[in-house]
Structure 1
Amino acid sequence: MNIKALEKEYIQSLSHFYDNDEAKAIFNLAASSVLKVTKSQLVIDNEKEILAKDSNKLSKILTDLKTGKPVQQVLGETIFYGLPFKVTSNVLIPRPETEELVDWVINHVKDKKESLLDIGTGSGCIPIVLKKHLPHLDVSSIDISSEALKVAAENAQLNKISINLIEADILKYSTDKMYDVIVSNPPYIRELEKAEMHENVLIHEPHTALFVSDENPLIFYKAIADFALSNLNPNGYLFFEINEYLWEETLQILIDKRFKNIELKKDMQGKDRMIMARTNP
């Protein structure tokens, strides 16, 4: 079987879960990983015959994908901000919009600050990328899940950096340690928004990292903002990834708590997805 024929098989077999473009992108990820080639090479060499051992691997991957399991979990890996990350069912798969949040932090913080705390670390994608690009920072990360922290520790080792991992519930956590930067991508999807989501996300990704109640959807933003008021140094930075539907309410939390220089930022799709705020001098 050649590359083109296998791509067609992927697209047809995954039509229940994905449209043609999504299925093609999934095939490209799987084929690039197995064949050790770039996506451009897949297009250029699409008539090339696939070795039997590689064809068998890609067929096995397709069998797993037909259960609805995300391709990153099937492969056990993904790329985030140019770095490799292991992923399991215990952590969220890193999203492109979170890359935009990380980029925003890097461009603002640079060499101005010394300590950073990431809240809700999951795979460790945010703190690991930030430590890689801002090596002068002392970086710590909190997560309630011990299993997620194991994945984050593996990813830190994979990317040859050191971060301090803390198992804690931010709704109950307190410390005397002060930070210059706090960044968080907390759970923010309301139960009522489940209908908009892919079935494979609902089945295969950890709900505690995704969902909040319809009655109190901003519980983590309130808690983290209060924590930041106590544990951010003067002129410290607070960065959030946010629910696009709740940007006004999230903004109001920070206004009410008297943060300054509050900035709302859209992602590349034009959605209100990030907020930055500062503490008083």
Structure 2
Amino acid sequence: MNLSQLLHHFKTELRDVYEEEEVKSIFSIAAEHLLQFNRSKLMLSWDIEPEPAQEASFLAIAKGLKAHRPIQYLLGEAFFYGLTFKVNESVLIPRPETEELVDWIISGHPSNPSVIDFGTGSGCIAISLKKHLKNSRVSAVDISEDALRLASENALLNHAAINFIHADLLSFRTEDKFDIIVSNPPYITGKEMAEMHQNVLAHEPHLALFVPDESPLLFYEAVADFARTNLQREGSLFFEINEYLSKEMIQMLKHKSFTTIELRKDMQGKDRMICAKF
């Protein structure tokens, strides 16, 4: 099959899973990964027939997508803040809104900060901060050994020296002080599951997604308590948050003696990020 025929195959196989424009976008991502064709080159190459092994890879990707597997897992990589990260089903796929959080942190801090990232997953936050904050010293914590193994691979891939720590953020303690404490912890309640796409529910790690309905701020409170003893005097605490719990987050942070609290919306207009200081 040539590329035009392969695209038609994708559209036919995935018509019950994705809108047509989304199928085209996904096909373009696959073509760039398998053939190193950017979108412009792809538009001029519909008559090209990939090698048999490449064609087989296209067909395998279409089959995986039909089973609701995310394209990033099928390709084994995702892009975040200009960097490439290996991903698999032990870590969340990096999201654009998390890039906005990273950009906020980078834009407001000088060089030489000490940083700790709780619930690092693929390492996308920690590694991006290490690459863009000059002379930063970055630690990253996760409870999942599989996630830390992959994050360590991503640190090597992106030439970033990170101190990875296998620990539960609910109980982690250290005497070290930090200029930046950041976390994108689990924050989706069980009540919100019905609103989620099947490719997330079936394949992304529930350990990194969900929090008990009865204690939706469980992980935020633990990180905030850590910050009360381990945040430098002029330091900043950053969170990515559940858009439906911004008022509760602000109330919780005030209760824990944070005096300067800034809430920001993401590009979709959702309450998604908070910075807190003493």
Contact 1:17–1:198 (Cα < 8 Å) also in 2 = no
Percent identity for Structure 1 against Structure 2: 53
TM-aligned CA deviation for residue 275 of structure 1? 0.5
Cα deviation, 1:199-253, whole Å, max 9, x if unaligned, reads 1111111101000111111111111111101100101111100000111111111
List aligned pairs for 1:234-273, cutoff 5 A: 234-273=233-272
Counterpart in the other structure of 1:174: 173
**In 2: Cα distance, 1:18 partner to 1:256 partner:** 44
**Deviation sequence 1:242-265 (CA, Å, 0-9, x none):** 000111111111122121321111
Matched, 1:23 2:23: yes
* 2:192 alignment counterpart: 193
SS at match of 2:88: coil
The amino acid across from 1:233 in the alignment is: Q
Query: What corresponds to 1:214 in structure 2?
Result: 213
Q: Is the Cα contact below 8 Å between 1:10 and 1:62 reproduced in 2? A: yes
SS in 2 for 1:78: strand
| CA shift for structure 1 position 4 | 2.7
Q: CA deviation at 1:119?
A: 0.4
Aligned pairs for 1:31-110 (under 5 A) are 31-110=31-110
Question: What is the CA–CA distance in structure 2 between the aligned matches of 1:52 and 1:146, rounded to whole Å?
Answer: 37
Letter in 1 for 2:80: F
Contact 1:91 1:148 in 2 (8 A): yes
The whole-number CA distance in structure 2 between the counterparts of 1:135 and 1:4 is 46
Provide the rounded CA distance (Å) in 1 between the counterparts of 2:273 and 2:253: 13
Letter in 2 for 1:62: A
Deviation of the 1:27 alpha carbon: 1.3
1:191, distance to aligned residue in structure 2 (A): 0.5
Report how far residue 14 of structure 1 moved: 1.7
SS in 1 for 2:216: coil
CA distance in 2 between counterparts of 1:240 and 1:230 reads 17
In structure 1, distance between residues paired with 2:228 and 2:44: 54
Aligned equivalents of 1:46 and 1:252: distance in 2? Answer: 56
Matches of 1:80 and 1:16 in 2, distance apart?
Answer: 28
8 Å CA contact 2:113–2:133 kept in 1: the answer is: no
User: Shift of residue 17 of structure 1?
Assistant: 2.4
Between 227-236 and 46-55, the greater mean CA deviation after superposition: 46-55
Q: Could you tell me how far apart the structure 2 residues matched to 1:278 and 1:28 are?
A: 43
What runs of 5+ residues in structure 2 fail to find an aligned partner?
none
User: Is the contact made by 1:17 and 1:199 (CA closer than 8 Å) also made in structure 2?
Assistant: no
Work out whether residues 238 and 277 of structure 1, in 8 Å CA contact, stay in contact via their aligned partners in 2: yes
CA distance in 2, matches of 1:191, 1:24: 32
Within 5 Å, give how 1:134-145 maps onto structure 2: 134-145=133-144
CA distance in 2, matches of 1:153, 1:53: 30
Read off the aligned partner of 1:206 and give its amino acid letter.
P
Query: Does structure 2 conserve the Cα–Cα contact (< 8 Å) formed by 1:128 and 1:163?
Result: yes
**Which segments of 5 or more consecutive residues in structure 1 lack a partner in the other structure?**
none
CA distance in 2, matches of 1:11, 1:246: 38
* 1:228 aligned counterpart, secondary structure: helix
Q: What secondary structure does 2:274 align onto?
A: strand
Q: Kindly provide the CA deviation profile for residues 86-145 of structure 1, in whole angstroms up to 9, marking residues without a partner as x.
A: 00110001011111111111101132x520000000000000011011141100000000
Given residue 158 of structure 1, which amino acid in structure 2 is its aligned partner? L
Equivalence for 1:13: 13
Which letter does structure 1 place at the counterpart of 2:25?
A
Where does residue 226 of structure 1 map in the other structure? 225
Q: Distance in 1 between matches of 2:117 and 2:274?
A: 15
